[in-house]
Amino acid sequence: DAGVIQSPRHEVTEMGQEVTLRCKPISGHDYLFWYRQTMMRGLELLIYFNNNVPIDDSGMPEDRFSAKMPNASFSTLKIQPSEPRDSAVYFCASSPRTIAKNIQYFGAGTRLSVL
């Protein structure tokens, strides 16, 4: 398996523009997670899905952020409009269905710079 695939690897955009980050989870995994990593705040969970259904979006910072999972092999995280404080590395992770043992497999991340 190729692992979790994220695209693009790097994104540079200007303030106010829409940004879409993409993720392909590992085939057969039931859970998908979106994280944001910054030096100041570390790794923060934004939202996670179970079988394509959003379960907990309490980490989404504000209405400018939205995430979708239209099918089991694809998810997007959208920021509209983007702001400089959104600059961070965004990770997608997936995990299989297990009982009380959630081991997550991470993609390589998307480094977002908002100018």
Partner 1 sequence: SQQGEEDPQALSIQEGENATMNCSYKTSINNLQWYRQNSGRGLVHLILIRSNEREKHSGRLRVTLDTSKKSSSLLITASRAADTASYFCATQGGSEKLVFGKGTKLTVNP
Residue numbers at the binding site for partner 1 (CB under 8 A): 4, 31, 33, 42-43, 45, 48, 50, 55-56, 91, 93, 95, 100-109
Positive or negative torsion for Cα 77, 9, 33, 96: positive
Residue 76 vs 81, nearer CB to partner 1: 76
Residue 54 vs 81, nearer CB to partner 1: 54
Residue 57 vs 81, nearer CB to partner 1: 57
The rounded distance, in Å, linking the Cα atoms of 52 and 67 is 11
Residue 52 vs 104, nearer CB to partner 1: 104
Q: What angle do CA 60, 63, 64 make, to 5 degrees?
A: 95
| Residue 4 CB, nearest approach to partner 1 (Å) | 7
The rounded distance, in Å, linking the Cα atoms of 106 and 29 is 12
| Residue 13 CB, nearest approach to partner 1 (Å) | 20
Q: Which amino acid is at 51?
A: N
| Residue 101 CB, nearest approach to partner 1 (Å) | 6
| Residue 35 CB, nearest approach to partner 1 (Å) | 8
Q: Which of 93, 96, 92 is nearest to 110 (CA)?
A: 92
